[in-house]
Structures are given as C-alpha cells and as structure tokens.
Structure 1
C-alpha cells in the first residue's frame, strides 16, 4: 500500500473517531441518551486511541517536526496543568458515590438487594432459577455469581428485568 493511502486512512479514521467521541462526550455531559451513548463512547474511545497512534506512526516525519515546535510545548504544558488541577481537586473528596453504591449492591445480602432491584425477593429468585442460577441463603450477588461462574452484572440484569 502506498504511503499516501496509509496517511489518508490514518487521518480519516482519527478525524471520524474524534468527532464521534467529541459528540458522544457532549451528549454524556448533558445526559442525553446516557444509557445508549456511554458504551459507544467507551468502546469507540479505545478505537480512537488506536486510530490516533496509527495517525502518529503514519505521519511520523511530520509529527517529529511538529513535536519540536514551541506551540506543542505550550499545548502539552497546558494539558498537564489543567489535568493536574482536576486530579488534585478530586483527591480529598472521598470515594465515588456510584462506586460505593455498586459495591454495596453487589456485596450486600441478596434478600435486601433483590428487594431493591426487583421489588420482590421471591420473584427475583425465580427469575434466577429459570436461568439455572442457584441462589444460596444470605449470599451476596458477588458470591452467587462466583458460585455460578457468571458475571455479577448478569445477575443484576436478570433480577432487575421486567
């Protein structure tokens, strides 16, 4: 494949992934279609990283020249400073509330968490049994998942389904 075609592909994919990641990031910020956009944003974010690396490699000569310019030094310094401010600002705030809640749901007694997720403990157990998942008395979702060799989020999905 000729070098200009590789550069064309690298630039095209990087640009398109940037647009999708940018738009989906804005949508997530404003909570538009969160349920659908989050997974798209995360997966295509990984694809974007690969596309960006492909772009840098395909354009290495030009990039080397660009990296030596003062504007790049200014851009990287600004990015590091702004990122550091966000990281330092979040250090003293304790645990992420979503993480705390998820940990308690997955590690709390199933009698309580099934009630929260389904509204009826017995119906939740029936749904799991229909999927060949054995529920032990007093076990947490994490323990049930481990014993049944499945993902705890699959159990949450089954229990909370309508």
Structure 2
C-alpha cells in the first residue's frame, strides 16, 4: 500500500508543491502579490519536504546510481556553494531588517493610539481622525489597533498600515493634528 501511494502520489505532490513554492518565491522576489504569499511560501515549502522525501524514497535506486557515477556531487556542491554569498552580504543600509519589523508589529498592534500617535508626529485625536477617514470605527484614543481592526472588520495589519501611513502620501505624519512643541 505504501509503495502504491508513493508511486501514485510522490512525484505529483512534489510537482504541485514545487509550483506553489516557485510561484510564491518569484512573487516575493519581485515584491508582487498579496501579503499572504509570504506565509504561503514559508509553510508550503515546509510541506513540500514530505512529498520530496516520498519522491526520494520512490527514486532511491536512481539517486544511488547518480552517486555511484559521481554525477550527483557537482550539482549538490553548486547548490550549496550558491548559498555562501548570502552569509557574507554587506549591510544594506536599511535601518533594521524585516525580522525586526515583524518583531515590532505586536507592539504596534497592542499599544493604545495615545502611545502610537507620537510615532507619526500627531496627537491621539489626529490619529483617531486618520483612522476614521479610512473607514475604521474608533471610539477613543485609548483603543488599540487590534481592537479597532476587530470592531471595523479589517485585518490588524491593515490597521497598522492605516495608522502609520499618511493616506495622502508623504509618509508618516504630515497631516492631521500635530502636537505643538514650544
């Protein structure tokens, strides 16, 4: 039964998940597609390992023959050598990296607007107005973006973007109510 399953589904499953991984990988590389592509790519690439292992088991004799003829080693060396430059990249000049941004996201989601407003050079009322003008239901500056997103029926990530990005362009702040410092 296991052999029948591997013969029937090993290669098709590998092909299907590889196509998903390839398409989402290309989309991520060129910054195309929805934000869902990132978790799709990561998780389904992990799932791809199962059919890949089935494919290896199914084709084990061929793999051993590649090793005996020494035609397996050069492609493996090339694949692993292609990874090396990524460990020695110079800093990109960006402040932080993507992982840092992902670590900051929960802080932004759970902070009340009164604490977030200074990040976008506004007071809480200005930030409330900014979110309301983009269709969010906001009762007060004491609410968190997570609460506002739930009440408005929007994903919390969209609420974070709406709070931090000026809806009229120009980056954070640059509009709305500014606290006066004298």
Aligned ranges 1:29-44 → 2 under 5 Å:
29-44=29-44
Q: Deviations over 1:74-129 (max 9, x none)?
A: 11111121101211225x6698422333444545893534776993432328937x
- How much has 1:68 moved relative to structure 2? 3.0
Alignment of 1:1-162 (within 5 A): 1=1, 3=3, 5-89=5-89, 96-106=96-106, 110-111=111-112, 112-113=115-116, 119-120=127-128, 121-124=141-144, 127=147, 157=156, 160=159
Q: Which runs of 5+ in 2 are unaligned?
A: 129-140, 163-182
User: CA 1:159 to 1:116, structure 2 compared with 1: closer, same or farther past 3 Å?
Assistant: farther
- Equivalents in 2 of 1:61, 1:71: separation in Å? 14
Please list every run of 5 or more consecutive structure 1 residues that lacks an aligned counterpart in the other structure. Answer: 132-155
CA distance, structure 2, for counterparts of residue 32 and residue 74 of structure 1:
33
Aligned length: 136
CA–CA distance in structure 2, aligned partners of residues 80 and 34 of structure 1:
30
Aligned pair in 2 of structure 1 residues 22, 84: CA closer, same or farther (>3 Å)?
same
- Structure with more helix by fraction: 1
Instruction: Give the Cα–Cα distance (whole angstroms) in 2 for the partners of residues 158 and 10 of structure 1.
Output: 37
Moved over 4 A (4+): 92-96, 104-109, 114-118
Change (3 A) 1:35 1:52: same
Which TM-score applies when normalising by structure 2? Answer: 0.57
- Output the CA distance in 2 between the equivalents of 1:96 and 1:69: 47
Residues 13-68 of structure 1: CA distance to partner in whole angstroms, max 9, x if unpaired?
Answer: 11111111111111111122131222221221111111111111222222211233
> 1:68 and 1:36 mapped to 2: Cα distance?
43
Retained in 1: the 8 A contact 2:146–2:156? no
